Each structure stands twice: as C-alpha cells, then as structure tokens.
Amino acid sequence: MNGPLDSTMPRRRLGLALKELRERAGMTQDVAAAAVNGSRYKIWRIEKGQVAVDPNDVKILCNLYGANARITQGLAGLATATGQPGWWHAYGDTVPTWFSLYVGLETAATRIRIFNTNLVPGLLQTRRYATAIYENRAAMSAEDKTRAVEVRMHRQTLLTRQYPDPPDVDVVLCEPVLRRTIRDRRAMAEQLHHLAAMSDRANVTLRVLPLEAGPTLANEAGAFVVLDFPTGNSRGAVHEPSTVYEEGLTGALYLNKAGEVEAYEEVWSVLDARSFDERESKQIILRIAGEQEGHHV
C-alpha cells in the first residue's frame, strides 16, 4: 500500500455523514464554518475526509444540523478515530499505534470478514478468555494486561451500536480453535456458549472449518481480516478499497491493492465452500462446549 492509510476510512465516513446532515438541514458550508469559528475551506476538507476532526466540532455541527443525541454520540465517537497515526508504525505499548489504526478501520467498516486458525477473534472473546490470552504476555505488566482486556471489551460495542449501523461480521474458525482450551475449562465452555449466542445475532455469521476439510489455501494464508467500507451514496463519491489486515506480534500488514485483495477473496471462496453452514457450526460449538463442561461432572 502506497503511503499511510491512517484514518482515511473514518475521515471519509464522518465527512460523508456530516455533509448529508448539513444538506438535509438546508445549510451552506459558510454557516457551518461560522459555527466552528473556521473557514468554508475547513468544512470542505472535513466533508471530503481530508483532515482529522475535533469531536467538539462534530458536536457543534450536529447540534447546528439538528441531529439527535444518538447520531451526535456516534459521529463524535467516529471523530476520535480520525487522528490515528500512520499504519506502518509497528511498535507501541499496551495499545500499539498499528492496532490503534485497525480499531479506526474496524469502526468505519460495513462488513468485517475474519478467518482465524488459532484463537477466538477479539470481537467475540469473553472477558475471561481474553484475560487468559493476555496472561501469556510475560513482558506486559498486570496493569497493561487489564487495560488491554478493557480495550478489547470496548471494541465489542461495535457489534451492538445504534449509529451508524453495526457492521456485518462474518467469521470462520478452524475447528482446533474451539478445541484449544485455556487453563480454566469452565471459562472455555463459557466462551464457546458465547460464540453460539453471538451467532444468533442478525449481523453475525459464524462458521467452522472442520478438520476433515484438510489443508486448504486458507490454511496457507493464515489468520486474516478483510474490511469492506461504505461505497458512498452520491454521484462521484469515492469508493474506498477493501483492506486485508494480518497481525503479528510487533506489527501488522495492511493490503489494499486490487491483486492483493483478489487473492484473499479467492481464499474466502475456499472457506465458503469448505466450512460447515451456520446451523452445523453452532451444533459443533455446543457439542465441544459440552465436552469441556464434562470434565467437571
């Protein structure tokens, strides 16, 4: 990917929403500019998604446009993602800069496709499961581990937000993810029941790639996330390309060139063909949960 992606998607999503609100209110950019003590050019740049936006300015503009509290809160929250650092800064503390970027992209996405070969994805983890995962990070302090779990729990509000609409989340897990227990088997059973419950949500699809599927192109690719973004609803709107995210211990890879995304689309088509359907997947998850609980009978 050429140049830092940083907060392009959150900025464009926010800019489009503010422009739509302004136009519905029948107001000019000059009126909006006066409200935030800025220039017409500042409003133009905000609406084009070219600059980071102060959440306080968003609140002022939303109030000016007559937006309700729910919309105002959602857009102000989105504004916090518009000042994230460059995607390639691969080092950080409790929340690395490269992961801060991902959170911004996740917030702006309309569809999130996740394939994981080793762990339950963060968006679907229970607190006890997430805590167990971070227990393995010997280099992290107890305080940082607690903060990291809190960040993960906060991210999950994405699935139930009111505005903008929550993304569609399509998850495929390799069967070993379900069988790779954590130290506390009761907590693992709880995690599996949570997966089954989340699969009942209208915006969540959860499928299992069984062991019997054998080695596939998906296994060669390893764990990844594909993020799809709004296409815009006006003539001439800029369509943001889908982005593939792959995470490592000290950084992450962001891919959005056409050939790169197409390669992962091919991998996803293999997952579609080889994975159990939603009903079968839920049955497998609950059966394995029962096996975990059986260790305590």
CATH code at position 176? 3.30.870
Asked if residue 3 has pLDDT above 50, the reply is no
- The answer to whether residue 224 sits within a structural domain is yes
Least confident residue range of 154-158, 200-204, 230-234: 230-234
Rounded alpha-carbon distances, angstroms, from residue 241 to 9, 258, 261: 10, 8, 9
Q: How confident is the model at residue 9 (pLDDT cuts 50, 70, 90)?
A: low
140: alpha, beta or left, given left = phi > 0 and alpha = psi -120 to 50? Answer: beta
Token pair recorded at residue 80: 């916090």
Q: How far apart are the two ends of the chain, measured CA to CA in Å?
A: 53
Same domain, 222 and 268: yes
Helix, strand, or coil (residue 269): helix
Please state the pTM of the whole predicted model.
0.72
**Closest C-alpha among 129, 148, 102, 107 to residue 251:** 102
Query: Do residues 49 and 16 touch, judged by C-beta distance below 8 A?
Result: yes
- The answer to whether residue 2 sits within a structural domain is no
Residue with structure tokens 């994975």?
A: 275
pLDDT in tens, 239-282: 567 889 999 877 788 888 889 999 999 999 999 999 999 999 99
Tell me: cis bond preceding 164? Omega within 30 of 0 counts: yes
Task: List the beta strands (DSSP E) in 102-162.
Answer: 111-116
Query: Do residues 185 and 133 touch, judged by C-beta distance below 8 A?
Result: no
Helix, strand, or coil (residue 255): strand
16: alpha, beta or left, given left = phi > 0 and alpha = psi -120 to 50? Answer: alpha
- The answer to whether residue 113 sits within a structural domain is yes
% of the chain at pLDDT higher than 70: 86
Helix, strand, or coil (residue 140): coil
The distance from CA 296 to its chain's CA centroid, rounded to whole angstroms, is 35
State how many domains the chain has.
2
User: Where a domain ends, among 18, 51, 83?
Assistant: 83
Same domain, 143 and 223: yes
User: What residues contact residue 284 under an 8 Å CB cut-off, 6+ apart?
Assistant: 175, 178, 208, 210, 276
Least confident residue range of 61-70, 72-81, 203-212: 72-81
**Closest C-alpha among 232, 242, 237 to residue 265:** 242
Same domain, 40 and 117: no
User: What residues contact residue 94 under an 8 Å CB cut-off, 6+ apart?
Assistant: 140, 144, 147, 148, 151
Give residue 233's domain range.
97-294
What number is the average pLDDT over the span 36-56?
A: 90
Same domain, 104 and 66: no
User: Where a domain ends, among 83, 110, 128?
Assistant: 83
- The answer to whether residue 211 sits within a structural domain is yes
Same domain, 184 and 256: yes
Rounded alpha-carbon distances, angstroms, from residue 226 to 104, 236, 246, 248: 14, 25, 9, 16
pLDDT in tens, 146-180: 888 888 898 899 999 887 789 999 999 999 999 99
Q: How confident is the model at residue 10 (pLDDT cuts 50, 70, 90)?
A: confident
Same domain, 68 and 101: no
